[in-house]
Structure 1
Amino acid sequence: MRKIINKLLSYSVYRKTLLAYSVSILIITVLILICTYKVFTNNLKNYSTETSKQLLNQLVSGVENLKTDVDNVMTVIAGDSKALRFYQNKNDNKQDDYYLFLRLTDIKSYYSYIEDIAAINFNNSVCVQALGSNNENGDIDFASSMINKQKYIVPRTIKISKESKNVVSFLQYLPYYNAAIVIDVNADLFQYSINKNGREERNVYIIDSNGNAVTGNTKDIIQNNPLSDYFYSIITLKNKTEGCFVYDDKAKRQMVFFSKSAEFSWWFIDVQDYSYFNKAFQDISYPFIGISAFFILICILISALFNKKIKKPLVQLVNKIRNAADAEELSDMDELRYLDIAIARGKQERYAHQNYIRTQFLRCLLLGQQMPVMIPDHELRQIRGEYSANHFCVLLIKIQNLLPLNEAEQEEEFKIYRYTICNLADEIFEKSFHCKSVDIGNDLVGLLFMLDKKDISEDYMLSFKQLKQFAEEMIRITVSGSLGLIVDSQKDVSISCQKAKQYLEMNQLIGREELIDSNNQVTANYHEKNKKLVESILEYTNSNYKNPDLSLKSVSQVFGLSTTYVGKIFKSIQGESYSNYVMNYRLEKTKVALLETTKTINDIAIEFGFTNSAYYATLFKNAYGMTPTVFRNSAGIRMNL
């Protein structure tokens, strides 16, 4: 087993593929496990969050039910016919007071959460309490204050048997009798239900709409502690209109749950530290880690088995390449380098083969010969499709060396010339035409034009002139050319090539300055046509030179030709660009105006198409070595002399 492992690992290609597959599978597995763990923990967190929200909502619902009970008690007291006499008394009636005292005591004993019940008659300033006479004036003052502030539910602290108790006071005002009923409920009851759910280790805070603590438990916890401000700032910051929301405080690493009671306008708040969630996560982490480790081992095993299957063909491939490679060139065990070299050679050979096939196809297409090599039909169809068009035309380029060479030197030199001309022709002509050059042999290079219309733009003459100029300047040779007939079919391309070849062999008008067009167009006619075009442009320019918008673009639009074409033709005939001609013509005309008129320099500049006098003066000085003012003054002096 050890020998087998050592043999397998002796191949670097096997080691690297094993490592690559192992790492890839390991990364994918870990990512899947991380995503699964993330989803699981998020679900756990969401479940805990929803549970806390439900508990708070249950507490709020219980508190609102408590208010309903208190309202019912007040209704019972206010509806008692004998108790009504207490509210109607203008003076104190001890008998009515005593009856009401018994009634209130009976009701208080029935509801364990009620700390005290007080009935107040503001007409005679009498207060009857279920606990007996405790602080009558205090209750009357408190009730008056609640009525004035229109607050009917207020947390406060009262003393019962000299013991302070936190209560929530509910007030019902009877305006018809000018009387009131006050019921004090134990404040700690409002958070009692959540403690009954096994959550004693956590605190529920209750604050009113102003951020003040409501229950004694809340007061004890946040005493000398800015928690109340903290909770109130969150409520203000979030500006929450809904009755329940969760605030995730990442800075303090805790979740804060808020639930609002619509009846009381109080906020019930529960806080969960992140440690609560971490404990739950830890409970699931250990089994999850075990499952993850198991899956990772399975993945590594699968990777090893997979590599074992691909090991044999890899080793066979490496051995074949080793046998074909030069032993001195490569190291004995560097089979990865063998593979890289083999792949690079394969790509190079494939490219060379495809280039050779295309070159042979074009050459045979122009010469009307059969392909010298057999290629599959699908490759031949693909190549034919690459060179398909509606019409075709062949331009033959003949190379003429300016230096005398012997036969051996000439063959080698012309091979280089043909290669260079092919590259130049492709680069120059492909800017304006869909075409491809091919080395035909000897002193000829063919250029196949693939046309959409049965017409070829005369721009090819400008391109040929550029090719001729490059050839003379770069490789010191001269070229001549002949354009064959335009044919309609790919199989007739050889006819176009043969016609171009005939004109070259006839040597009519062919030479260092001419280009034959077998479609009955020659360079002389081309130049004559261009000369007439330039004459028309000059006539138009001389008539409109004062127009400030006169430019090569505007002239091209007038004659319906492209700006590039007109610019090239004009410069080839006149020897200068169109813009220079217009500028010089205008300057010559302004010289006459300077001498024969008294117009200002600015008026002359604007009249003759210059944008402003400063620009005109700069151009004038560059052309004649002096400003228009100096020119006018010097001319005046000479005339006086």
Structure 2
Amino acid sequence: MLAKFRQIKTSYFKLLLLACLGFFLVSLTLLFIPLYISFQNSIVKSVSSHSLKTLSQTSYSVEFMQESANTVAEQLFFNSTINQLLYALDYNDIDTIISLNTLNSYVKSTLFIESVYIYSSKTGNVSFSSKTNGSGFEHIDDFYDSDYLKTLKANESSRFIPFPRITSNDKLVYSFLLPSSRSSDLMFSNSIMINISAKWLENTYKSIGNQQDDMILIIDSNGVVVNQNAYAPVLADLKEDPMIVRILNERVNEGYFLSSMDGEKQLVTYTSSPETGWSFVLLTPYSTILGSFANLKTIIFAIYFSIMICGIPICLIVTKRLYVPYSVIQNKLVDLEVRYKSNHMVEKQNKLHALLVFPSPFSESQVLQLKAANQFKVRFDQPYSMLLLQIDRFADFCDQYPIRDRALITYCIQNISEEIIGKVVGAESVQIDRNGVCMLFNQTSELQTRLTPLVKEIQQTVRKDLKLSVSVCVAESGHTIADASQIYQTARESILNKFFKGPGCIVYASDETAKKRAGHSEYQPARQKQLTDLIMVGKFEAAKKLLSEMIENLKDAHYDYFSQIILTITLELNNTIQLLEKANELTLPFQFNTFIAKINNMGSVEELLNLFFRLFDEMDAQLELKKKSKNEKLVQEIIGIIQRDYRDVNLSLESIADLVHLSSSHLRRLFKKETGSSIADYISRTRMEQATHLLLSTSLSIANISEQVGYVNSTYFFTLFKKAHGITPAEFRSKYATT
């Protein structure tokens, strides 16, 4: 018997030894294979990381090019001298030379700008300044850059999105188009096009320091090549190329992968620029990467065989101590237990989610069975209630944390809520949507008196531990399982009213339901018309006050009705802004879709009002700037008239008002405001200056000089001259002509 036992023992030992050796060798192999792959991937990752830095620098250069072009275009657009090229009906030789010289100075002072084209829809002319072709202006049909007209047609709706093109002299440039507003009777709108030399961008990314075999490929969002490279010709359409298709379909902005090109394996590293919509691709031959990995591969294999040789005696020693695999059996049991608990939690969360989202997914008997199996801590055959918790300013929350961290934080909110409510009664929680956690619990007399303090404690704990603000909706009570879905839907609608209460509030669904049933104050279109009229006449402070009153009257309304009214106000505001832009020939800082998106991200009434107020302030500043520019131009025109016609005895405020088509009273106020002097004083001062010049530089009689400067009555001229200089004209000539 003993011999048999020893035989079994020896056989088991041999089997265990073989198993241990096999386990060791397999484990060692499985360990070194990932290690080998890891080292290989680390080198690839290191190379791709360096490539990403290179591409990021190239992307930054493109974004810098775009921002710089945008800045230059805005400077050109708001430059009163260059602006004449856009809006003048005809060209004055001196003004045109000054404008073109100013434009030329912009082009010459900026290294990367190849040329600037300014198209005036009123004249049909293109004013240009080019480092290659000089400056001047031509009619658009005769313009030397024949591709310009086609480009203007194709990209008229674009606003400072770079698009590559080949000019008539076979140069690759990146063009930026700044269109202005236009009337319906014009074929094209006024526009400024800035052309940036592609050679500048090529020199930029070549100077960053790539490997000799590396190749940079730049494509736009449509898969069109926009730079000179060896992979494909410039402006070639690669949207069918498998490598480009993969890059364009990736959801992340940067990454890398391996691909084949002409039978050779390549490391493809890419990044994208949201600003321009371009993707930057760097191709590195895989053979170059493996060359740096050869020595490291030899070291890894040497270590592998050394450990294998040393591991055999170690396996013999370990096997002697492992006659019975209790630890293995125990580990398997623990692993099974962990899996069971994990599956149990996931199953319970799925059932809770289905219970709330879908009407009556379980019968009462099924729920009682789940309760009996200790899966639910809540009884649905007894009165129960619900809390719906939502993270405030969810858009900022998503920007601050990646998706994995967001899931972990939501799980922490569940645990905090269950722990605090669990002080009084058993509770269940489930993450119901991206920013919502739902709590279910049975009602007790103690909970009814302590529920609000417990909710505040949850909010304070979340704020302290997670640095987050949460709003909570206390839902209405339920009595059967069929009520759960309806209670949840009502809570979702009610918590939207946190918009009026602000972040970190407590909303009671019963109050919001009563408010919705009671109705709301009617929207008054007349006040909307009054708001539009105030904006049209530039009374923005009054418009702010009126808008505040309109929104204040809607605070007692339900959120759905409030959001409809805000949309109506925004639509009317959009129409008003379009009228202002057309009337004043400018572009105001407003995009309807972007503004609506901002409204949807607002968390309170105060934030919403501030959004509208900032828009009003920006509109006021733009309109004031336009008005000031217009007034300055008008004053310069009046001064030019006086300098030209001072000899005319009939020159007066009224005659000048007729020339500029303004009323004399309005012209008097405007000139006084802008210059600090009246028109009559300015005419008199101009005539006196000309009189002193004639007295000192000519031998004309004083009576003749009086006539030449616009005074028929020489006595009146004597009086005015003495009043201005303190001496008579004869004394002035005698005193200063000799000196």
Relative to the length of structure 1, the TM-score reads 0.39
Looking at CA atoms only, which structure, 1 or 2, has the larger radius of gyration?
Answer: 1
Relative to the length of structure 2, the TM-score reads 0.34
